[in-house]
Structure 1
Amino acid sequence: MNILRKPFRYTFFNATLALILINTAVHFLAGALGINRNFFGLNVVGFVYKYRFWQVITYMFMHGDFSHLFFNMLALFFFGIGVERALGSKEFLLMYFVIGALSGLFSVAVYYTYGIFLANNGFQPWTWRISLIGASGAVYGILFAYAVLFPRARIFIWGIIPVPAPVLVLGYAIIEFGSQFVGSSNVAHMTHLAGFAFAWLYFFVRMGVRPLRIWKDAYRN
């Protein structure tokens, strides 16, 4: 058997709720103790030049403010529990951390490469100072997974407008892509898109599942 596709024995132990509790505890402890989020956030200077390799995991537990934490954890609650029940807690955790780590590494690679470009053209490589924080990359991957596992599920926007889960993913992807190039904000839209991309890759490599085929078959009739 391909080791990449070796399944875990199914178990369920509410890993989603544990992640929410840990993220919440870390957020308030970091604030109370005055912890420098840049030390645990993922950035080029720390990861590449100071060898703080733990940042690829710890950045997922750092959040900028309460609203950042709240909306990430709310999405994780709504979509994570269903994904965890479908896949089992061990598979869910592997998916969560693999997608989160790869999304962060992708973002750091882009920041590093663009910084090199700026430096070679006489500018300060300001992208090296960007510190990536938050669980968004992993959470967007879980949203993608929910749409694959429950392709006919409908999600109510503002509690009113029913939207099929795959359409919601497509809509978010379009919004994030546009937001990456239009306007400026502290939101890592590129990392969100990477979460979708690596979730697709996870299904294909780990499970031999083709998400587009799943969605096509679900709405064929």
Structure 2
Amino acid sequence: MIRGITDTVKHLLIINVIMFIGTITLGNGELFSHWFSLYFPENDLFKPWQIFTHMFMHGGGAHLLFNMFALWMFGTAVETQLGSKKFLFLYISAGLGAMLFQLGYYYFQYYSASQGITGFNFSPELLHEIINVNSIEGDYIKPGLFHSGLSDILVENNYSGPQIGSDAFSSLYEMNKVTMARMVGASGCIMGVLAAFGMMNPEAKLMLIFLPVPIKAKYFIPGIIILDIISAFSGQSFFSNSNTAYMAHVGGAFTGFIIMWYWKKTQFNKNRWDR
């Protein structure tokens, strides 16, 4: 074991770094992204293995650095207390919980938006083409690109239904935004680890870089989760850019909490965590 880093944390760090190197060096930065990021199931790029591989993908150097720093800081402490097998189970489970929460949120957005086109009777094939219009430029989804792609598809399919006004366009665009979204990163896993750390070390004092005031873990971690929930539903970002999958953070933390609560209830004794 490298000094200061437990074995499982060390291997997770290595895997994440290797995946990032592959992302930025192979296939013009798109090969790894298309194969290993998690796409919405209605997206043509969705593959089943992405449910797991997206946890080891990152959107940039800063994203990777922040997550790996948090993994080292909190993961090492949690693995030391839990043992490697339980830590890995917690880590992967939190990532899966994060995925389920975020996809559930995406499906809610998708079907809410679909209510705005109920009178258009698009065929399933035509609707699938529309929501898969490539409207991405750089890191953002652009309504202008979607409008252009939508127009081309309607012409190619000889569409003769009701006129698509601004409301229907907005609904289709929102469906396209969800379809084009992709999930990457270990943040959900890290939030599960953070929740476990807080439950095992509630009196530990933590600080934000831009708020150098020590706060006990039992207050700090719930506060972070509440801010993530607010960000998800308000669009107001407190710590990161606006395309952060905030509900994934909530799902990871919730999963970590439930697992730790169960273990504490069934396997905790007066001396140590049962490994």
* TM-score scaled by length of structure 1: 0.81
Residues 171-212 of structure 1 deviation map (CA, whole Å, 9 limit, x = unaligned): 211221222223361111111111111112112334427xxx
Could you tell me which of 190, 197, 200 is aligned with 1:146? 197
Q: 1:166 to 1:131 in 2, by over 3 A?
A: same
Q: 1:25 to 1:90 in 2, by over 3 A?
A: same
User: Which whole-Å CA distance do the structure 2 matches of 1:116 and 1:96 have between them?
Assistant: 30
Deviates most, 112-121 or 163-172:
112-121
Could you tell me which of 77, 80, 85 is aligned with 1:82? 77
Asked if residue 14 in structure 1 is aligned to residue 7 in structure 2, the reply is: yes
Could you tell me which of 84, 88, 96 is aligned with 1:93? 88
Letter matched to residue 16 of structure 1? V
Residues 133-186 of structure 1 deviation map (CA, whole Å, 9 limit, x = unaligned): 101001011011101111111124339422111111022112212222233611
Letter matched to residue 52 of structure 1? K
Q: 1:28 to 1:51 in 2, by over 3 A?
A: closer
User: Which whole-Å CA distance do the structure 1 matches of 2:208 and 2:243 have between them?
Assistant: 24
User: What are structure 2's unaligned runs of at least 5 residues?
Assistant: 118-170, 237-241, 267-275
User: Which whole-Å CA distance do the structure 2 matches of 1:46 and 1:98 have between them?
Assistant: 24
Could you tell me which of 219, 232, 243 is aligned with 1:180? 232
Deviates most, 126-135 or 33-42:
33-42
Match of 1:131 in 2: 182
* TM-score scaled by length of structure 2: 0.66
Higher relative contact order (CA 8 A, sep 6+): 2
Could you tell me which of 247, 257, 266 is aligned with 1:190? 247
5 Å-filtered alignment, 1:39-118, equals 39-45=35-41, 52-118=47-113
Task: Report deviation, 1:117.
Answer: 2.6
User: What are structure 1's unaligned runs of at least 5 residues?
Assistant: 1-11, 210-221
Query: Percent identity of the aligned residues?
Result: 30
Task: Report deviation, 1:112.
Answer: 2.3
Q: 1:137 to 1:23 in 2, by over 3 A?
A: same
User: Which whole-Å CA distance do the structure 2 matches of 1:157 and 1:112 have between them?
Assistant: 33
Residues 69-109 of structure 1 deviation map (CA, whole Å, 9 limit, x = unaligned): 00011111100000000000010000000110121122112
Q: 1:181 to 1:51 in 2, by over 3 A?
A: closer
Could you tell me which of 166, 174, 193 is aligned with 2:218? 166
